[in-house]
Amino acid sequence: MKQEENLFRIFVGYDERQAVSYTTLQHSILETASRPVSVTPLILETLPITRRGLTPFTFSRFLVPWLCHYEGHPLFMDADMFLVSDICEMTKYFDDDHAVSVVRSIAQFEQSSVMLFNNSHPKNQVLTPEFIQHTEDNLHGLCWLNDAEIGEMDGKWNQLVGYQACQGVDGNLHFTMGVPAFPETSTSEFGQIWTDCARRAIGVTQSWGEIMGPSVHSVQINGHYFPKYVADEQHSEVRTEHASLVSSILGNA
């Protein structure tokens, strides 16, 4: 990795109708990454295009080179994905010969769901907001490139759950028919590991006392740590509005 790219930049399509998809993907990336990464959601309302398709990020994905000032090697991913191994392994596909690298062994319309950009490649200069907003060319077919300018990544980085045999222990799982957050998709293969990660992403793994007890923000009541605001300034009496909470927690301790 080049010195100026010690931080691996990852852009993820964001759909407000299923925000848990982004949250879970982000958490799976952070749990497995071996070096610093930044994960940025592409929120259509904040971008200089209004064009959308089946999802809000159908076209906004092609703004990634423009967002990065046509510098670096960022990654784009759909939100309905899940990393089961280190995403930073993908940096081995950085090169100056290809404008974009994708998994080419799957259907063409799915290839643009994971794209590793070489932003400084001259051909990527065409990817401006105006072009993306108005072109009738097939962007998902990487229409601005010829075949020799498209690099190839290992198939494990875009495994289509439900369409092909997937490893489940290496690479990237793509729930292209829908993440297991819906009743209709709850029996999806690999659904349990996705659901477990979603719970970790939106929950806590330690109690408040374990995290904050030793800090200046806590007060001890009957051997249990609470935030200071539950007691009066002398920390001798529980405030009335918090009495029920304190009683409940101490009663269950």
Do both 57 and 180 map to the same domain? yes
Give residue for tokens 């300018």. Answer: 149
Q: Which CATH number is 92's domain given?
A: 3.90.550.10
- Residue 185: burial class (beta carbons within 10 Å; 0-12, 13-18, 19+): middle
The pLDDT, as a whole number, for residue 214 is 85
Do both 38 and 140 map to the same domain? yes
Write out pLDDT tens, residues 76-130.
Answer: 999 999 999 999 999 999 999 999 999 999 999 999 999 999 999 999 999 999 9
Domain stop point among 163, 186, 202: 202
**What range defines the domain where residue 232 resides?**
208-252
Given a contact cutoff of 8 angstroms between Cβ atoms, the answer to whether 31 and 84 are in contact is no
Do both 121 and 194 map to the same domain? yes
**Residues 6 or more apart in contact with residue 82 via CB below 8 angstroms:** 24, 25, 28, 172, 173, 175, 179, 190, 193, 194, 197
Token pair of 44 as six digits? 């259509």
The pLDDT, as a whole number, for residue 236 is 73
Domain stop point among 202, 219, 238: 202
User: Which contiguous run of DSSP H or E holds residue 38?
Assistant: strand 37-42
Do both 73 and 127 map to the same domain? yes
Number of domains in the chain: 2
User: CA angle at residue 169 from 157 to 108, to 5 degrees?
Assistant: 25
Do both 195 and 127 map to the same domain? yes
The pLDDT, as a whole number, for residue 3 is 41
User: Which contiguous run of DSSP H or E holds residue 64?
Assistant: helix 64-67
Do both 136 and 244 map to the same domain? no
Do both 134 and 173 map to the same domain? yes
Q: How many helices (H) and strands (E) does the chain have?
A: 7, 11
Q: Pick from 97, 193, 95, 110: which is nearest to 155 by CA? A: 110
Do both 130 and 244 map to the same domain? no
Q: Pick from 90, 116, 95: which is nearest to 34 by CA? A: 90
pTM of the predicted structure, to 2 decimals:
0.89
End-to-end CA distance of the chain: 51
Do both 227 and 183 map to the same domain? no
Flag the least confident range among 49-58, 85-94, 188-197: 49-58
Do both 233 and 154 map to the same domain? no
Mean pLDDT across the stretch 131-149?
Answer: 96
Do both 235 and 171 map to the same domain? no
- CA–CA separation, 77 vs 144, rounded Å? 19
Do both 32 and 147 map to the same domain? yes
